[in-house]
Structure 1
């Protein structure tokens, strides 16, 4: 078992762990509730961590995690009205067409 990453909060640690598990990499969140003792230990030691069970899959897990953490900038042109749509939007705000319709 090997630590993959320390997360800034439990929500991200859980998201990252679930992403890896769905990809077939056995992973778990450790120190999920250690923040309650942050005053008694250094704060950086109380953060949740994502661990993988198979050490041989560390590089693969790191690549998958990098994909998830990479910001995405999606740009598409509405096929119905020609509006340029940027960001995570899947529907045109001008005419209501869906990105999947293109």
Structure 2
């Protein structure tokens, strides 16, 4: 069992662990409730941590975690309503139309 990352909060730690587990790597959240004793221990030791159970898949888990933490940033215009969309979104927030297929590799 190896530690992957200290998460800034329990919500992100749980989401990351769930995504890793869905990808076939068993991951757990440790120190989930240690925040309740911050002040008695150093604050950085009270943050939740994501751990991968299989040591051999640690590098793969780090790679997937990097992708989850750094989604692709795009800027595109909706062909239906001409709304300008920024960010890792695959559909228009205004009308719900899907992002048009790229004309070239992104």
Decide: shared fold, TM above 0.5. yes
Q: Is the 8 A contact 2:76 2:85 kept in 1?
A: yes
TM-score (ref. length: structure 1): 0.84
For the aligned residues, what is the CA RMSD?
Answer: 2.1
CA-CA distance at 1:51 after TM superposition = 0.5
Unaligned runs of 5+ in 2: 102-106
Structure that is richer in helix per residue: 1
- Partners of 2:14 and 2:46 lie apart in 1 by 15
CA-CA distance at 1:77 after TM superposition = 3.0
TM-score (ref. length: structure 2): 0.81
Counterpart for residue 38 of structure 1: 38
Counterpart for residue 98 of structure 1: 97
CA pair 97-22 structure 1, distance change in 2 beyond 3 A: closer
CA pair 81-37 structure 1, distance change in 2 beyond 3 A: closer
- Partners of 2:86 and 2:48 lie apart in 1 by 33
Count of paired positions? 100
**Structure 1 range deviating more: 35-44 or 61-70:** 35-44
